[in-house]
Amino acid sequence: MSWLTEYVRPKIRGLLKREVPDNLWTNCESCEQMILVKDLRRAMNVCPHCGHHMRATVQQRLEWTFDNGEYTRIELPKAPVDPLSFRDRKRYTDRLKDERAKSQLDESMAVAHGRIGGHDAVVAVMAFEFIAGTMGAALGEAFLAAARLAILQQAPLIVFTASGGARMQEGMLSLMQMPRTTIAVEMLREARLPYIVVMTNPTTGGVSASFAMLGDIQMAEPNALIGFAGQRVIQDTVREKLPEGFQRAEYLLEHGMLDMVVTRSELPTILGTLIGQLNHAHITPSAA
């Protein structure tokens, strides 16, 4: 055999058979352009082609928000598990077990404290990756724990919302978290501590009807879906054609429901500036 068959041909076959890893590329949910996963992570999950803000995990949010990605997670109070013995396609307890294994989270909210722009801060992040960020008794406990920690540390509370609404598997107990979280916000106001809400895509249902809309400063990421019910449900109820994009962040900003729409890359700097100004004033905008 010649060197062509013994050496060159096997090399060519090896090149042709070389497989590309499945996790090397991804597609933008908005423009459908292909993006290198490492480039997407470097851009904080923002599409470099169209600027679409993709969803982020709890860990990513915390790393992006706190100075140098340094923070301390707190252990959250335990809530009753499956108080209604609920079952749909599977038992609620089994669903929780599966979600915890898949997301590596205990529930749909995580709380941490650290520094933002050199200032002490407490941050609560909703986890859409855990049953679509739905609100149950455990989330109510987590939110109360975050508010109490902020009061203890005399620090502002920043909440990142991302939710499909109330958790149907907990029925009325889920809806009870709306007044509970509202009371927690009132505790912060009585302590004259800033409460800042950053709404991300999507923020809907009982979350948008409670603590998500009670911030001293209301912020959102670009094009975030924000609303209580879906567009089709509202249209069928009012029997009128609704404006294009009426549940998107930019529309809500134009109509006074938001204070600002901020890109993900600018968010840590703006949060740090706001915290510094509010700490210097030692008064929240709502109390001014």
The pLDDT of residue 101: 95
Decide if 234 contacts 247 (C-beta within 8 A). Answer: no
Amino acid residing at 152: L
* Residue numbers belonging to the annotated binding site: 28, 31, 47, 50
Check whether 75 has a pLDDT greater than 60: yes
| Phi/psi at 261 (5° precision) | -115, 125
- Pick the more confident residue, 35 or 242: 35
Pick the closest to residue 47 from 57, 34, 66 (CA basis).
Answer: 34
Residues 6 or more apart whose Cβ sits within 8 Å of residue 170 = 83, 84, 86, 136, 137
Q: What is the mean pLDDT of residues 104-124?
A: 97
What is the percent of the chain where pLDDT is above 90? 80
Decide if 258 contacts 249 (C-beta within 8 A). Answer: yes
Domains by residue range for the chain, with CATH? 20-53 (no CATH), 55-276 (3.90.226.10)
The pLDDT of residue 285: 47
* Residue numbers belonging to the annotated binding site for Zn(2+): 28, 31, 47, 50
Cα 245 from Cα 241, distance rounded (Å): 12
Write out pLDDT tens, residues 144-184: 999 999 999 999 999 999 999 999 999 999 999 999 999 99
pLDDT category, 244, cuts 50, 70, 90?
Answer: confident
The pLDDT of residue 270: 98
